[in-house]
Structure 1
Amino acid sequence: MTVTRIGVGDPTGHYDVLVGEHLLNELPALVEGAAQVAVIHPEGLARVAEDVAAALRAGGYTVRPMPVPDGEAAKTSAVATDLWSRLGSFNFTRSDAVVGVGGGAATDLAGFVAATWLRGVRSVLVPTTLLGMVDAAVGGKTGINTPEGKNLVGAFHPPAGVLCDLTTLESLPKADYIGGLAEIIKAGFIDDPVICDLVEDDPEGATTPGGAHTRELIERAVRFKADVVSGDLKESGRREILNYGHTLGHAIERAENYTFRHGYAVAIGMVFAAELARLDGRIDEALVRRHRDVLASVGLPTSYTADSWEALRATMSVDKKARGATLRFVVLDGPATPAILSGPTPALLDEAFRAVAGGPRVPQSH
C-alpha cells in the first residue's frame, strides 16, 4: 500500500501526516539529532510501544519507555507531573524528543508534556485509534483535563510528524472505531459532504478498517483538518469550526466522569447543534434529520438522558469558546456552511436540548 503524505503548515513550520501501513521505519528520521527519546504510551499498548521502541533503537537512539494509564485517566496534572519528573531524572535536553503512542488521550498528553518540558521539545505522534488519526494527533493542540472541564489546560505545539499506521486499527474494539467515525462525519457536515455520501453508501463498511471507503474517509478527514489548522494554528478564526458538536459533547464527557466515548458525546452534540441552528432559522428539518440518520446508521447515539440538562448547561459555561458569560456554538447556516451562534437565549437552548433528550445512556468506554 502506498503512503499518503498530507502536509500541515503554519507560521511555526511544516510537518507531514503520513497515512499508510507499516510506517515505523519513518520514525528515526523524525527524531534525528536526539540522544534520547521518551515513548509515552498507555499501559494497554505495551506491545505496540515496544515495536516503536525497537524501530528507534534500530536507528541508534536510547529509548525511555514511559507507560501511563489508559484513556482519559492519563490526562491529569498528576500524570503530567510524574512524566516531567521522569524526563528530569534522565536529563532530557532540548535536543531530545518525545514520541506519543496511542489514542487521542495519550497523544494529547504526550504533546502537552513535550510542549512544556524546557518550554518545548520535539514530539512525534503515532495515533493508534481512528479518533487519534483524524482528529487529536493533527493540528498541534495538546492538553490535559481538570475537574472543571476537558482540555482547559494545554498548549499549541505542532509535532514534527504524525504516523497514521492503518494496521493498528485492525485490533481496535469496534465501539472505539465507531466513536472515531463521529469526527469523520463532523468533517462531512461542516466541510466535505462527500464524506456523508460515502457513509450513507456503505454504513456497515464505514464501521470497519476493511470497509470499501475506509482509507478515503480517513484521508478526506485528515486533509480537511490539515487545511483548517494550516491557516489558523491558535484557533483565532476558522479553526473554531472544528468544535462542531463539542460544546455539549465535552459537557457530557465531564458529566460521565470521562467514561463516555468522546465520539459518542460529540455525535449527540452535533444533533444538538443542528437543532439549535434549525430553531434559529438557519437550516431546515431535512438537514437535522440527515444528522440523525447518518450518525445512527453507524451506531452513534443521537440523544441523551433528559435529567442532565442543568448540570450540562453549567459545564458549557466554562467552554473554551465562551466569551465571558456569553455561550458560543458552532452551528450550520447550510450544508458545509459553518457559522457561530453567539449568546443563544436560555429558551432556545432548552428547546434544542428537549429535542435530543430522553435517550438511554450509551455503553461506557471501559
Structure 2
Amino acid sequence: MSDTVLPVTGAAPYDVVVGTDLPGRLPQVLGGGVQRVAVIFSDDLGELVRPVLESLATAYDVTVLPIPDGERAKAATVVASCWEALGEAGFTRSDAIVTFGGGATTDVGGFVAATWLRGVRVVHVPTTLLGMVDAAVGGKTGINTRSGKNLVGSFHEPAGVLCDLAHLRSLPRAELVAGLGEVVKCGFIADPRILDLVEAADPAGLTADSAVLRELVERAIRVKIDVVVSDLKETGGSGGHPGREVLNYGHTMAHAIERAEGYTVRHGEAVAMGCVYVAELAARAGTLAPEVVARHHTAFAHVGLPTTYSGASFEELHAAMKVDKKARGSQLRFVVLTDLAVPAVLSGPSEVDLRSAYEVLATGRAVSR
C-alpha cells in the first residue's frame, strides 16, 4: 500500500506521512542547508533507531542523544543535558533535530528544538500508536514538574512527521492498546466513524499490519490536524466549540490519575478512564444522554482499556485537577459532550457532581443522582 500524505496547513505547513519503511524520506523532510542533525531517542530503542542513524550518517554530522524511556524523560535535567550536548556539537539555527520514540520523546525533543537558539527545525518519527495519533502532531511540546504534567512547554511545529507503521510491529501489545485510548477519544469528539470501526473490530486483529488499524490511525490524525489548523495555540474556537482544547477531552482526570500513580500508568489508559469520568460528569450536568455515556464504557472496554479507577481518593484527584492547565483561577473547567462529536466546555461543576462521577469511576456502578 502506498504512503498516505496528510497536509497540515497554516503559517508553517508540513506533512504527516503514514506508511511503512519511511526513513528514506528524512533528508527530503529535513530540507536544505542542514549540516548537523541531533537524534533524540528513547534509550530502550537502540536497535530500532539504528537504521535511522545509519541513513542520516551518510549526509549529516549526527549527534546521538539517548534519553530515558517514558515520562522519566520529561524533566528539566534531561532537557538541560540535551542543550549542553547541542552546544558542544556547535549546533546552529540552520541545523535540525530528529525525535525517535513515543509521545514522551516527541514532547521532550520538540521542547529542546523549540528552546535551542529560540527554535530549530525538528522532525518527529513516532514509534508508538500514541505518538502517531497524538503527541507528534500539532506542535505542542512540554515537560513535567512536581506540580503536574506538561506545565512547562511551548508551541513548536515540526517540519514533518513520519508515522512508520512498521515500528508498531515491535510495540508491546499493552502499549498498542493504550494508544487506542486517544483514537477512541477522537471518535467521541469529532469522528464517530472511528467508534463504529472500533466496535466492529476484533480487538486481537488490530495489529501493525491491519488495514483497520491504519484507517483508525489516519482518521485520528485527521481529527487532530483539523483542530490544530483552526486553533494552533489553544486560544479558543468559534460557535461554542472549545477549539484545540477539545483534544484535552478526558485529560483533566487523566492527568490527575497519572500524577497520583507517579506516572506509572500508561497515558492512553488514563485517557480512557478520564473520558469515562467526564462523560459521567456531563450526564450529571444534564448535557449528555445516557446512551452516549454508556457507549464510553463499552467502546473503551471493547479494546481492552480500563474504565474504572479507585487507586486514589476523590480528595487527592480533586486537588490534582485544580492545577490542570485548563483551570481558571479556582474554577475547574472540563471539555464535555452534548452529543457525539458536539463538544462544549463545562465550567465550575458542583462538588456533588464531581464526587458522584468519581464514585461511578471507582466502582463501575451507577449511583443515584
TM-score range, shorter chain: over 0.9
Please name the residue that 1:246 is paired with. Answer: 251
Please name the residue that 1:101 is paired with. Answer: 100
Structure 2 runs not aligned, ≥5 long: 237-242, 365-369
Asked whether the 8 Å contact 1:205–1:214 carries over to 2, the reply is no
Map 1:142-161 → 2, pairs under 5 A:
142-161=141-160
What is the CA RMSD across the aligned residues, in angstroms?
1.1
Map 1:299-310 → 2, pairs under 5 A:
299-305=304-310, 307-310=312-315
| Equivalent residue for 1:323, pick from 328, 332, 336 | 328
Asked whether the 8 Å contact 1:39–1:49 carries over to 2, the reply is no
Please name the residue that 2:274 is paired with. Answer: 269
* Counterparts of 1:171 and 1:276, CA distance in 2: 37
Asked whether the 8 Å contact 1:174–1:207 carries over to 2, the reply is no
Inter-CA distance 231–249: structure 2 relative to 1 (3 Å threshold): same
Inter-CA distance 307–16: structure 2 relative to 1 (3 Å threshold): closer
* Counterparts of 2:128 and 2:70, CA distance in 1: 11
Please name the residue that 1:293 is paired with. Answer: 298
Inter-CA distance 317–348: structure 2 relative to 1 (3 Å threshold): same
Local SS of the residue matching 1:47: coil
Local SS of the residue matching 1:357: helix
Q: Does the alignment pair 1:138 with 2:137?
A: yes
* Counterparts of 2:22 and 2:145, CA distance in 1: 34
C-alpha distance after superposition, 1:245-287 (max 9, x if no partner): 1000011001111111000001000000100111111112111
Structure 1 runs not aligned, ≥5 long: 360-366
Q: Does the alignment pair 1:342 with 2:341?
A: no
Local SS of the residue matching 1:333: strand
C-alpha distance after superposition, 1:328-360 (max 9, x if no partner): 00100011111100110111101111111137x
C-alpha distance after superposition, 1:288-347 (max 9, x if no partner): 111101110111000101642111110111111111111000100011111100110111
Inter-CA distance 309–135: structure 2 relative to 1 (3 Å threshold): same
**Bigger shift: residues 194-203 or 209-218:** 209-218
Q: Structure 1 residue 182: deviation in Å?
A: 0.5
Please name the residue that 1:38 is paired with. Answer: 38
Please name the residue that 1:364 is paired with. Answer: none
Q: Structure 1 residue 205: deviation in Å?
A: 4.5
Please name the residue that 2:229 is paired with. Answer: 230
* Counterparts of 1:274 and 1:210, CA distance in 2: 32
Asked whether the 8 Å contact 1:184–1:221 carries over to 2, the reply is yes
Q: Does the alignment pair 1:6 with 2:11?
A: no
* Counterparts of 1:287 and 1:347, CA distance in 2: 22
* Counterparts of 2:289 and 2:29, CA distance in 1: 47
What letter matches 2:322 in structure 1? S
Please name the residue that 1:362 is paired with. Answer: none
* Counterparts of 1:334 and 1:45, CA distance in 2: 41
* Counterparts of 1:47 and 1:4, CA distance in 2: 26
* Counterparts of 1:148 and 1:51, CA distance in 2: 38
* Counterparts of 2:358 and 2:226, CA distance in 1: 32
* Counterparts of 1:289 and 1:206, CA distance in 2: 24
Asked whether the 8 Å contact 2:327–2:333 carries over to 1, the reply is yes
Asked whether the 8 Å contact 2:144–2:151 carries over to 1, the reply is yes
Q: Does the alignment pair 1:259 with 2:267?
A: no
* Counterparts of 2:14 and 2:82, CA distance in 1: 25
Structure-2-length-normalised TM-score: 0.95
Asked whether the 8 Å contact 1:292–1:302 carries over to 2, the reply is yes
What letter matches 2:35 in structure 1? A
Please name the residue that 2:210 is paired with. Answer: 211
Runs of 4 or more consecutive aligned structure 1 residues displaced over 3 Å after TM superposition: none
What letter matches 1:346 in structure 2? E
Please name the residue that 1:47 is paired with. Answer: 47
Please name the residue that 2:86 is paired with. Answer: 87
Structure-1-length-normalised TM-score: 0.96
* Counterparts of 2:327 and 2:158, CA distance in 1: 27
